[in-house]
Amino acid sequence: MSNMRDAAFLTTVARASYGKVSSQYQAEFDPATGTIWGYFNPRGTPYFSLGLLKDIRMHDTLLETNAGHVQFDGAMHQAGFYVVASRVPRVFNLGGDLALFILLIKSRDREALAHYAKLCIDNVYPRIRNYSSPTLTTISLVQGDALGGGFETALTSDVIVAEESAQMGLPEILFNLFPGMGAYSLLARRIGMRAAEELILSGKILPARTLHEMGIVDVVAPDGQGETAVNDWIAKAAKRRNGYAAVYRARQHVHPITREELDAITETWVDAALRLEDRDLKMMSRIVRSQMRRMEHGDVTDVTADALAAAG
């Protein structure tokens, strides 16, 4: 194991940034292992703003256009693994732009809500399909909270690695809505429809260890060791990368998720969002305030629990 960890350390050192470094989504490439490391680097509260979604799409569109190859150090390289992670300490991603949702719902702007949902699916679906590359394996590295759309994003990967203190869940039911950008489809593929519905309707935020026992998280790592765990997993899988990738493609054939399915569910989400009442929007506002307090002052560890407490 020590040799494997030494190799992981050396490949980490060899990584370098490429692409649009100043964007809210930053990418690095490790040519030794053929691994892309993509990092959420949002401005302000770490949710999926329109700007962050567009920056991710810009990077991933180029990857898909180049059939899983990246331009690095003057040459094109075949990527074998694509890890998505976050630069924000203790947060993977807190989900959708709730403040924007409130504004659009109050103004009855169905077109803008549908546009946001479509942009989310424009990001989610190519990752579910491994960017049309038969040999690219996707990995989510969750080192903090992944809520709502953040959890959905983690679920899009073939493999989920999470640190022990990471928490994931779908709190949308707390403000009378549901996660409409892939959660139902992706959870059903991993744990079945009934269990997926139970988790969605519970609104529970669960620790990585519990999610591992449920069959959602693949690898649980000690806090601070998530990146090492990913490197170890890649080092193990690299020897049989073709076989691993083929198994994950087989998963897609057995439990296919189509673009049409995802688009239809987002239509349901938009319709449901426009039926929300004032009390629902007030709960959404409380969650927004809890998110802001957490990022500005660090005195909130669980934004959903804080919002519920404020509601009395």
pLDDT, mean of residues 30-35: 95
Residue 10 pLDDT: 35
CATH number of the domain within which 111 lies: 3.90.226.10
- With H, G, I as helix, E, B as strand and everything else as coil, classify residue 95: coil
pLDDT tens digits along 215-237: 999 999 999 999 999 999 999 99
Q: What is the pLDDT of residue 210?
A: 98
Contact 95, 303 (CB under 8 A): no
Which backbone phi and psi does 162 adopt, to 5 degrees? -135, 140
Residue 108 domain boundaries: 2-276
Sign of CA pseudo-dihedral 225, 226, 231, 233 = positive
Structure confidence by residue, pLDDT tens digits, 166-218: 999 999 999 999 999 999 999 999 999 999 999 999 999 999 999 999 999 99
284 located within any domain? no
CB under 8 A, 24+ apart: contacts of 245-253: 245/130, 245/134, 245/135, 245/136, 245/137, 246/134, 248/130, 248/137, 248/158, 249/130, 249/134, 251/158, 251/189, 252/128, 252/129
Confidence of residue 129 (pLDDT cuts 50, 70, 90): very high
Q: How much is the pLDDT for 307? A: 75
Question: What confidence score (pLDDT) does residue 8 get?
Answer: 38
- Establish if 288 belongs to a structural domain: no
The answer to whether residue 172 sits within a structural domain is: yes
Q: How many domains does the chain have?
A: 1
d(CA 10, CA 52): 30
Burial class (CB in 10 A: 0-12, 13-18, 19+), 157: buried
Question: What is the rounded average pLDDT of the residues 26-51?
Answer: 95
Nearest Cα to Cα of residue 133 among 78, 190, 203, 206: 78
Tell me the average pLDDT of the chain.
92
Residue 312 in this model has a pLDDT that exceeds 90 = no
pLDDT value for 21: 59
Q: Is residue 217 part of a domain?
A: yes
CA distance 110 to 93: 25
Kindly state the percentage of the chain with pLDDT values over 90.
Answer: 83
- Given a cut of 70, whether residue 65 has pLDDT beyond it is yes
Q: How confident is the model at residue 297 (pLDDT cuts 50, 70, 90)?
A: confident
Kindly state whether residue 230 falls inside one of the protein's structural domains: yes
The pLDDT score that the predictor gives to residue 150 is 98
Nearest to 273 by CA among 44, 101, 48, 93: 101
Helix (H) or strand (E) holding 82: strand 81-86
Residue 82 forms part of a structural domain:
yes
8 Å CB contact between 84 and 230: no
The conformation of residue 17, written as its DSSP 8-state character, comes to E
* Max mean pLDDT range (22-31, 56-65, 300-309): 56-65
pLDDT tens digits, 265-282: 999 999 999 999 999 999
What is the per-residue pLDDT for 22?
A: 63
299 in a structural domain: no
How much is the pTM?
A: 0.92
Asked whether residue 292 is domain-assigned, the answer is no
Predicted local distance difference test score (pLDDT) of residue 46? 95
What count of other Cβ atoms lies within 10 Å of the Cβ of residue 3? Answer: 8
In this prediction, residue 14 has a pLDDT band, given cuts at 50, 70 and 90, of: low
pLDDT band at 15 (very low <50, low <70, confident <90, very high): confident
- Examine the pLDDT at 300 and tell me if it is beyond 80: no
Exposed e or buried b for every residue in 206-219, given b needs 16+ CB within 10 A?
Answer: bbbeebbeeebbbb
The pLDDT, as a whole number, for residue 5 is 36
pLDDT at res. 181? 97
What pLDDT does 13 receive? 43
Residue with tokens 């040799």: 3
Q: How far is CA 289 from CA 3, 93, 279, 300, in A?
A: 47, 16, 15, 10
